[in-house]
Amino acid sequence: MIAVIKKGTSDKQIENLASWLKAQGLDVHLSKGSTHTIVGLVGDTSKIDEELLESLEIVESVKRISEPFKSANRKFHPDDSVIEVGNTSVGGDIFAFIAGPCSVESEEQVMEIAKAVKAAGATMLRGGAFKPRTSPYDFQGLKADGIELLLKAKKETGLPIVTEIMNANHLPLFEDVDVIQVGARNMQNFELLKELGKTKKAILLKRGLANTLKELLMSAEYIMAGGNENVILCERGIRTFETYTRNTLDLSAIPLIHELSHLPIIVDPSHATGASRLVKPMALAAAAGGADGLMIEVHNDPQHALCDGAQSLTPDAFADVCSSVKKVLEVI
């Protein structure tokens, strides 16, 4: 970490700063140039509060040289992490196909979709039991009952299940859930992340709507710092000014995360685009770009069928995506 000191700062002020930094266990190197003095900090700078340092009146600017994340950092863990999930895994050689309905609605629905996505090539079943909704008047999910239905589908099909948590107090309900999802709106719900860090569950951490990749890795760090290294990252689109898509899918996140971290990263093209007709091309692009898996919404419920289709893919369309993605995976 480097701090550039403002012109005209007195030696005494610089010494004060250096003493304070040394007291925090860092080696401090002063480099006085003709125009500016630069303070180089060596040691565990992840404990230094960058914003506080930058806010000091004598500091012109601060630049981190080493990244502030440690457990998630590829530098200290060069091999790809492979997260075990039931009879399968995420990361390494296995490509994850996670599919299922947006919301669990009934036993019939979830059972039918589970079988259909398994036949189509899914390696895991996803489904929402607790649903984060912008409006308090929108359907909030079947909650505990929804998890029960997912577990029945798991028993029937053998597919590990992925479902979202919104409250650490609900953790007992997730005992038999294979992957616990943290949604975009909770990516910086640090209290929830800390509680998940105390478990050994695989955690699927979605990038927030306006969060940088560094912040995504820092949120993974919250979980890992608690002792749980089973983190799967998920790119699901960020918020921009473009209005034709719900969000802007940032696929450059894939090679960047692979460079910065050893954690696997999957892509959710359904939520990112908000349009079923864009799911296949973005799924292929994600696979070609090096993603470790995909999470795709697949439906089969009467409410949607009533009007002949919807945002989610049908099981047949999902099967087509799986086989096309596999062809791409073979050649890269």
Least Å distance, CB 76 to a copy of itself, is 14
Give me the amino acid identity at 121: G
182 is a site residue for a copy of itself (CB under 8 A): no
- Residue 35 touches a copy of itself, criterion: CB under 8 A: yes
Phi and psi, residue 162, nearest 5° = -120, 125
Asked whether position 8 contacts a copy of itself by CB under 8 A, the answer is: no
Indicate which single residue of 34, 78, 79, 200 sits in contact with a copy of itself (rule: CB under 8 A): 34
Q: Which of 51, 79, 93, 200 binds a copy of itself (CB under 8 A)?
A: 51
Task: Report if residue 287 touches a copy of itself, rule: CB under 8 A.
Answer: yes
- Please select the residue that binds a copy of itself; options are 158, 191, 227, 316, rule is CB under 8 A: 191
Place of tokens 């030696």: 11
Give me 136's structure tokens. 């308090």
Taken in order 9, 12, 13, 14, the sign of the CA dihedral is positive
> Using CB under 8 A, which of 77, 82, 115, 324 touches a copy of itself?
324
What is the crossing angle of helices 279-288 and 315-331, to 10°?
Answer: 20
Q: Of these, 78, 134, 172, 200, which contacts a copy of itself (CB under 8 A)? A: 134
For the four alpha carbons of 239, 217, 104 and 307, in that order, the dihedral sign comes to: positive
Q: Find, among 155, 160, 150, 164, the residue nearest to 124 by Cα.
A: 160
**Residues from 87 through 106 that contact a copy of itself (CB under 8 A):** none
Binding window for a copy of itself (CB under 8 A); candidates: 24-32, 91-99, 114-122, 228-236: 24-32
CA atoms within 13 A on the CB side of 295: 29
Least spacing, CB of residue 96 vs a copy of itself, in Å: 18
First to last CA, the chain: 38
Specify the residue, 115 or 256, whose C-beta has the smaller distance to a copy of itself: 256
What 304-313 contacts at long range (C-beta under 8 Å, 24+ apart), as own/partner pairs, is: 309/276, 310/276, 311/270, 311/274, 311/275, 311/276, 312/101, 312/102, 312/270, 312/276, 313/270, 313/276, 313/279
Q: Which C-beta is closer to a copy of itself: that of 158 or that of 290?
A: 290
Q: Which of 11, 22, 31, 156 is close enough to bind a copy of itself by CB under 8 A?
A: 31
Minimum distance of a copy of itself from residue 27's CB (angstroms) = 7
How far is CA 135 from each of CA 132, 139, 179, rounded to the nearest angstrom? 9, 9, 26
38 binds a copy of itself (CB under 8 A): yes
113 part of the interface to a copy of itself, by CB under 8 A:
no
Among 112, 113, 243, 292, binds a copy of itself (CB under 8 A): 243
Q: Does 49 bind a copy of itself (CB under 8 A)?
A: yes
Spatial distance between the Cα atoms of 324 and 307, rounded to a whole number of angstroms: 27
Nearest of 164, 123, 159 to residue 271 by alpha carbon:
164
Which residues in 52-81 contact a copy of itself (CB under 8 A)?
Answer: 52, 55-61, 63, 65-66, 68-69
Looking only at residues 291 through 320 of this chain, which bind a copy of itself when binding is defined by CB under 8 A?
303-304, 306-312
Q: Which residues contact 108 (CB under 8 A, 6 or more apart)?
A: none
In the complex, the smallest distance separating the C-beta of residue 256 from a copy of itself, rounded to whole angstroms, is: 5
Residue 144 engages a copy of itself in binding (rule: CB under 8 A): no
Q: Which one of 98, 114, 161, 278 is in contact with a copy of itself (CB under 8 A)?
A: 278
